[in-house]
Structure 1
Amino acid sequence: MSVTASTTSSVAPTGSDRQNRWSALRSGRGLVGVVLVAVVVLAGVLAPLLAPFAPDQQFPGATLQAPDGTHLLGTDSVGRDILSRTLYGIRIDLIVVFLAVPAGAVLGSLLVLAATRFDWLDTALQRSFDLILAFPTIVLAIALTMVVGPGVWTIGAVIVLAEVPVFGRLTRTSVLTVRQAPFVEAARVVGADEGWILRRHVLPNCLEPLTVQLALAMSVGVFIEGAMSFLGLGVIPPAPSLGSLIKEGTQNAYHSPLFVVGPLTVVVILVLGLLLISQALAAGSRRR
């Protein structure tokens, strides 16, 4: 999933332009997205206060118990409270998504910014991106898990590896477009050096499409964590994650149909919120 650089401005961005772009998050679907994501983030951060029990606490005789006054979402196959495990599982997803995706974005962008100064490095980097993009993300996950084993760090590494070429190519497109803009040519004519042009003109214009892509990539990161944990390539039990809880819920759907509802609802809310934020940012960019 990617965003083209069509939103790149043909004039130098002003403070009012950036203010108008971010104001899209204060109303409409942008505000709804921010609220949805904030609710999930707060639930994960405040898990020790909100969770009624420890995530690994077992209750003998309460295996696959239906929701009641004590266990609002019921219990799992070994008698652990599903609500508590869901709240703590959110924390794993937030750590992975909000650290790995920005890391991939920064790494991919910096690599491309360095490569645009040297043609041979740019060519080598683009061919490396082709190689990474030739493999589906789940294939990369399986290959990396075979080498280093499953775990949170493996999920983070897969997300970084998957996002580096996406952000790298988006940055490259933006840089090449902005460097040919009239205001950049005018800056060169008056004697501005390349470093000043990069900081003053190129980077501010590149941030616009990269910000939209960042929100989209975070929503994809939620799915990557879920898919890897669902396949047993992610978080190692008994540590909870939303993906592993969904997997366990589907395995016990016959005995406890509501098991999967809690973690799946959280995933839907988080992904929906991130998508609404990306749509609001994109709409704000188009209104410039």
Structure 2
Amino acid sequence: MNTTALLPRRARTAGRRPPYLAALTTLRGRLGLLLVGLVVLAGLFAPLLTSTGPTDQSSDPLLSLGSPGHPLGTDDLGRDLLSRVLYGIRTDLEVIAVAVPLGILAGCALALSAAVHPVADTVVQRVFDLLLAFPGLILALAVTAVLGPGRLPVIVVIALAEIPVFGRQLRAGILIQREREYVLAARLGGARKARLLLRHILPNCLDPLVVQISVSLTVAVFIEGAMSFLGVGVAPPEPTLGGVLNQAMPYLAQSPSLSVGPLLAILLLVLGLSLLSEALNREIRR
């Protein structure tokens, strides 16, 4: 009999370097971490990188890229675009840092409750189906119609979008792991259902969730940007990347450089997160 099969994956891979650390030593992982780090640091140190506030109308409107004192130019109200992009990054990070963990916790809690009883499993699956039935735009409009524009509806929409993603992934992992030999051995040893779920099964379901976090952060960037771009997200004059891009749209023919800053920030953030998720996925699958 192959006794290795009786061990959970984490026990079988004991002694190896954790996949999360190994992923950061690869080219994709390092490049992704560098890109994400640059964007995050730019948002965190926005007050130090610019002396102009994001709402200060302190210059002529629609100054072009590379204007003296305004590297990215100014918008139609004379506000410095570099300042608005940097503070927009900060706003996006604050929203995502709250919304994604909420979605993760709610989705995982529902998945764990589904593993307790078949009736709970059926109810939870229908909740996931209901959330997935609404297209993202319809969900955003519905939530905004109830709560009004601002940070709260953006957080709610992102969290609702992430709940079924993490919930289904964790539920699938639990269904696979609880049929493994090490779980059967723990049952024969008298382990209670709650201990079996939390101490044995759950730790061996976490690796795919870590990869999904990077993917979900990317999706959250798009959701926030889309809601702000459509005018149903964070209310102006508070800057967001999607909001800055939306304000630049009417002037693209006259001043196409207005969209350079927010597009570059979104591109670097999404590319960095995508590289990180790919590096994590490769190392976990080894």
Q: TM-score, normalised by structure 2?
A: 0.93
Match of 2:61 among 60, 63, 84: 63
Separation of aligned partners in 2, 1:144 and 1:235: 13
Alignment of 1:72-151 (within 5 A): 72-151=71-150
Separation of aligned partners in 1, 2:163 and 2:24: 26
Match of 2:10 among 8, 13, 24: 13
Separation of aligned partners in 2, 1:129 and 1:42: 35
Question: Cα RMSD between the aligned structures?
Answer: 1.5
Tell me how far 1:28 sits from its aligned partner. 1.2
Contact 2:19 2:280 survives alignment (8 Å): no
Indicate how the Cα distance of structure 1 residues 128 and 231 shifts in structure 2: closer, same or farther if over 3 A, else same: same
Contact 1:22 1:284 survives alignment (8 Å): no
Residue in 2 that maps onto 1:5: none
Greater Cα shift, 197-206 or 226-235: 197-206
Moved over 4 A (4+): none
Letter aligned with residue 192 of structure 1: A
Alignment of 1:137-216 (within 5 A): 137-216=136-215
Tell me how far 1:26 sits from its aligned partner. 2.4
| Per-residue Cα deviation, 1:52-87 (whole angstroms, up to 9, x for no partner) | 311111125x11011312100000000000000100
Tell me how far 1:195 sits from its aligned partner. 2.8
Residue in 2 that maps onto 1:25: 24
Separation of aligned partners in 2, 1:210 and 1:28: 22
Tell me how far 1:193 sits from its aligned partner. 2.2
Consecutive unaligned residues of structure 1, counting only runs of 5 or more, are 1-8
Q: Which has the higher contact order (CA 8 A, sep 6+)?
A: 1
Letter aligned with residue 154 of structure 1: P
Separation of aligned partners in 2, 1:277 and 1:285: 12
Residue in 2 that maps onto 1:252: 251
Residue in 2 that maps onto 1:3: none
Indicate how the Cα distance of structure 1 residues 270 and 52 shifts in structure 2: closer, same or farther if over 3 A, else same: same
Consecutive unaligned residues of structure 2, counting only runs of 5 or more, are 1-5
SS in 1 for 2:109: helix
Q: TM-score, normalised by structure 1?
A: 0.93
Residue in 1 that maps onto 2:242: 243
| Per-residue Cα deviation, 1:5-28 (whole angstroms, up to 9, x for no partner) | xxxx98331343561343112221
Residue in 1 that maps onto 2:228: 229
Separation of aligned partners in 1, 2:269 and 2:254: 27
Q: Percent same amino acid among aligned pairs?
A: 48
Separation of aligned partners in 1, 2:230 and 2:112: 36
Indicate how the Cα distance of structure 1 residues 153 and 16 shifts in structure 2: closer, same or farther if over 3 A, else same: farther
Aligned residues: 278
Separation of aligned partners in 1, 2:285 and 2:179: 20
Question: Is 1:282–2:281 an aligned residue pair?
Answer: yes
Indicate how the Cα distance of structure 1 residues 10 and 33 shifts in structure 2: closer, same or farther if over 3 A, else same: farther
